Amino acid sequence: MRPLNANEIDRLSRLLAKAVDFSQLERMVFLATGDRLFVEYVGPGLPLRPTIEKLIEALERDAVTERLAAVVYREKPFQTELRGFLLQLYPQIAPAAQAPTPSFVVQDAGLRRPDLADGGPGLQRVVKPALKQIDLRLWLDRADAISRQVCRIEADNAPLGTGFLVGSGLVLTNWHVIDEARKRGALARLGCRFDFNRLADGGVEAGTLVPVTGVLDERPCSPAELTATPDVPPPEADELDYALLELSEATKARGFVALKPAPPIAKDDPLIIVQHPQGDSLKFALDTAAVTGFVHQDLRLRYHTNTLPGSSGSPCFSMELDLVALHHLGDPARGPALYNQGVPIDRVRASLVARGQGDRLGL
């Protein structure tokens, strides 16, 4: 196996930095090598991309880069550019051709039953193709990381919404959450409370309150979305209802939810929302057939996953815990609610980059 040249290491590190966050990188390194990223390969404290570059250099010295490539290829099925480049470097990591599926012919008294053609025995079937089988340990590790990255937005101990880390010391939430703090005259006392969790004995862990020192960027929701008729008129392209907050301290040890391109999402896909509903301890809500589709020229995503007041600004994830949207409102109609709604994360990401925040987020 030939070593990678400088250009290949540079391109690979760029693609990996777009596809993974620190917690995912740590897990993949452990799966590939059995060693800990910050113990055996790279010292802590560097931004993500330099960390990846130094990791690849270390793996090259040990001639084991292919092991990491195989894990990344398997774990990132939607990262087509990255996977394509990995196959160029290591064609041997492509999965072996699957064994052909046995073909059954059902007969009755020696005659083929055309009504049961191609049928066969089986006690198990895939009933909902959108619900993939997931590696439990990997999923739980990722969920545990996310639980440290989602926070309650509050001022004067009063909950306002939910937010989540998108970089060291950077929290993403809804604009209308921050606007409420402004209306209360409490913006200078805004804070993010991490690790606010329910304990096994029924008690509550108070968590850690980190003050907010500023609003780095924000885009409002549409005026109609603050009324009982949120669709009339529909939102404009720059009405994305987000705010990027700067905290008073770095949060490198927590990692963050990377604002990478979202995976494809379709009707009836599952959707998970990690949230602080009604300002309560951290919860997650799941609907296994949640997504109803995009509306308003793909400026909004609608789904059935449950939320409550206080959930505004929550991250919405696919079943594989890839970020897909920023939750921001629910159906205001009287009677049974028909939908909840979020802003597609790709729209938020593009706006942040266009408005000069990409370097802060490591994009």
**Domain 140-354's class?**
mainly beta
Identify the band that residue 201 occupies on the pLDDT scale cut at 50, 70 and 90.
confident
pTM equals: 0.70
Query: Of 304, 310, 309, nearest to 342 (Cα)?
Result: 304
1 CA to centre of own chain:
34
Lowest mean pLDDT among 42-56, 100-114, 142-156: 100-114
pLDDT in tens, 9-27: 999 999 999 999 888 898 8
What confidence score (pLDDT) does residue 101 get?
A: 46
What confidence score (pLDDT) does residue 98 get?
A: 40
Q: How far is residue 19's CA from residue 81's CA, in Å, rounded to a whole number? A: 10
> How much of the chain exceeds pLDDT 90, in percent?
70
For tokens 């602080």, what's the residue? 276
Strand partners, 325: 316, 344
pLDDT at 8 over 70: yes
pLDDT in tens, 283-326: 999 999 999 999 999 999 999 999 999 999 999 999 999 999 99
Mean pLDDT of 269-287: 96
What confidence score (pLDDT) does residue 124 get?
A: 67
∠ Cα 233 239 230 (to 5°): 35
What confidence score (pLDDT) does residue 109 get?
A: 60
- The answer to whether 334 touches 269, Cβ cutoff 8 Å, is no
- For 41, phi then psi, to 5°, come to -120, -45
Mean pLDDT of 193-221: 95
What confidence score (pLDDT) does residue 79 get?
A: 87
The alpha carbon torsion through 49, 50, 53, 58 (nearest 10 deg) reads -130
What confidence score (pLDDT) does residue 116 get?
A: 56
∠ Cα 268 272 274 (to 5°): 160
What confidence score (pLDDT) does residue 361 get?
A: 87
pLDDT at 120 over 60: no
Q: How far is residue 200's CA from residue 252's CA, in Å, rounded to a whole number? A: 27
pLDDT in tens, 59-115: 999 899 999 999 999 888 878 899 999 999 999 988 643 444 455 555 666 566 666
Contacts with 81 (C-beta within 8 Å, 6 or more apart), sequence order? 15
**Residue-averaged pLDDT of the chain:** 89
Q: How far is residue 159's CA from residue 149's CA, in Å, rounded to a whole number? A: 17
Lowest mean pLDDT among 14-28, 158-172, 276-290: 14-28
Mean pLDDT of 329-346: 93
Q: How far is residue 39's CA from residue 117's CA, in Å, rounded to a whole number? A: 57
- The answer to whether 315 touches 146, Cβ cutoff 8 Å, is yes
